[in-house]
Amino acid sequence: MSCRSQLASWQALQTSANKMKEIHLKDLFANDSTRFEQFSTQIPGVLFDYSKQLIDNNVVTQLISLAQECDIATWRDKMFSGEKINITEDRAVLHTALRNRNESSLVVDNENVSSVVNAELQKIKLFVNKVRSGQWLGYTGKAVKDVVSIGVGGSNLGPQMATEALKSYADDTLKVHYVSNVDGVQIASVLKEIDPETTLFVISSKTFTTSETMTNAKTAVAWFLESANDKQAIAKHFVAVSTNLEKTAAFGIADENVFTMWDWVGGRFSLWSAIGLPIALYLGFEAFEAVLDGAFEVDEHFKTAEFQENIPLLMALLSVWNTSFLGFDSQAILPYDQALHMLPAYLQQGEMESNGKHVNFAGNTVPYTTVPIIWGMTGINGQHAFYQCLHQGNVVVPADFIASIKPQINVGEHHDILLSNFFAQTEAMMMGVDAQQVRADLTAKGKTEAEITQLLNHKIHQGNRPTTSMLLDTVDAKTVGRLIALYEHKIFCQGIILAICSFDQWGVELGKGLASKIEAELLDDSVTHPHDSSTNGLMSYYKQRRAQ
């Protein structure tokens, strides 16, 4: 396979990118009053407006041609049908099978995927209903009041982002807590809040070997046994989610208390599996099913929509256009909805652990920038943190603005004020304010010519900052499923277009391996270590002072 940059559509886009750098978005809008109609599309619950991106019809046509030349449709069908597109781990990529609500049969490696998924969903449903109804009793005969989810990365971010997004809908049956960081402060603060008699721990780890998770899990068991003082009691208070039954058994969790997942579910794509247990325990199984329903809707959209109306494909093409052609190295995720405050963190793993690579399918270094740095926070808070840079910095940061039409909770005029900022900021980033407008404004404020001369250039906003606006009906369970699935398929399309394997994560191995070695060295009092002078110096400094 030749390098993507050799494709005719890629080369046409490079020419277009050079031309687009000479154009200002405000002129594109001034010259064409139908941009919104041309460059926006809808699916149930979502309006997707990409008209404020640095594109015109020619660019969109060329981007669609690029998708066709990269054979997106064939790759999409390969993914849904269970072909092993995770080429370096020889695995299928079937997070879509976890939410295949029409239960169409799917067999992979002689295993009926649909039936094992549905069997696991039934197991989850029974367990969740037992816990939430008070039938699941702890070692002193009390019902569960607190759930502690122990996991990191994809075993944490999906559930925590979703329960944070939907906590307005939660009843007071259960509280949910998350422990992901191996920094003892986090688990200590959670253990202070809970009662061992009424707490259920969910240890989520696809491999059940992740050091941070295993450390936290061992600490939780030790804390629990200080009260229960009976290993038999562990079975009533600890369940696990993993593919590794050998390790869960060795840890002391009975097989019947292990919810399984499969190697064809990537960690960062796993909230639809039993990794999503905290969502179901906290909000009820019906809410968890609604999340699955929303994702399934988007799967169908992704499979059937024409490329020009295919939202996840358009999201991917815009990201490739901004990053690999226009040279914008980062992308901000700016939710104007407090419920989505963890979305940026969730997408950091989703996008950067999937596409933060530099070699293509054939293992050859690619000559183009692959993934943008994904970052962000709730937009309103960002306006008082980094919007100065977004408006007047000399780096351009394309941004996804996301808001909802109906708030989860209506408080006076708050939502209109929130949405006025949502609309204003993308307009300001697109239009900017030029010298003529600044001069007029300062004159109207009575500034002298000298004052105007001194201030003028400091107040110019270049504008021409590309953004996408997504308007959700409201942030409910189904919409959370839709939104996450849109980004999952965007990530998939981006990987195919960039010809990189989005589903392995070899880049996390080096750090993990070194940490394990250094952990052993920190337990050894000798002060010489086989590292560089900085690492040796830091370790010695730490070891000398930690005992003081």
Binding site residues, ligand F6P, CB under 6 A: 152-155, 205-207, 210, 213, 267-268, 353, 505, 508
Residue among 85 and 320 whose Cβ is closer to ligand F6P = 85
Considering the complex, state which of residue 357 and residue 478 has its C-beta at the smaller distance from ligand F6P.
357
Nearest 5°: phi and psi at 394? -100, 25
Q: Which is nearer to ligand F6P, 60 or 214 (CB)?
A: 214
- C-beta atoms surrounding 388 within 10 Å: 10
Ordered DSSP codes for 140-180: TSPBP-EEEEE--GGGTHHHHHHHHHHGGG--SS-EEEEE-
Cα separation, 411 vs 47, in Å, equals: 24
Residue of 120, 164, 212, 353 marked catalytic:
353
Query: What's the min distance (Å) between Cβ of 91 and ligand F6P?
Result: 13
Closer to ligand F6P by Cβ: residue 217 or 475: 217
**CB nearer ligand F6P, residue 273 or residue 370:** 273
What tokens does 448 get?
């002298």
Classified as helix, coil or strand, 207 is coil
Angle between helices 435-444 and 449-459 (to 10 degrees): 140
* Nearest partner of 72 among 264, 269, 300, 314, judged by Cα: 314
Instruction: Report the C-alpha gap between 52 and 398 in whole angstroms.
Output: 10
CB of 267 to ligand F6P, least distance (A): 3
384 included as an active-site residue:
yes
Q: How far is the CB of 353 from ligand F6P (least distance, A)?
A: 6
Tell me whether residue 108 or residue 152 sits nearer to ligand F6P (CB atom).
152
Minimum distance between the CB of residue 213 and ligand F6P, rounded to whole angstroms?
A: 5
Nearest to 479 by CA among 173, 169, 172: 169
Q: Cβ distance 64 to 7 under 8 Å?
A: no
Indicate which residue of 406, 512, 517, 519 is catalytic. 512
Task: Check if the beta carbon of residue 502 is closer than 8 Å to that of residue 494.
Answer: yes
Name the minimum Å distance from CB 505 to ligand F6P: 5
Question: Is residue 78 flagged as an active site residue?
Answer: no
State yes or no: is 458 an active-site residue.
no
Shortest spacing between CB 263 and ligand F6P, in angstroms: 11
Residue whose C-alpha is closest to residue 205's, from 180, 172, 233: 180
Active site residues: 353, 384, 512
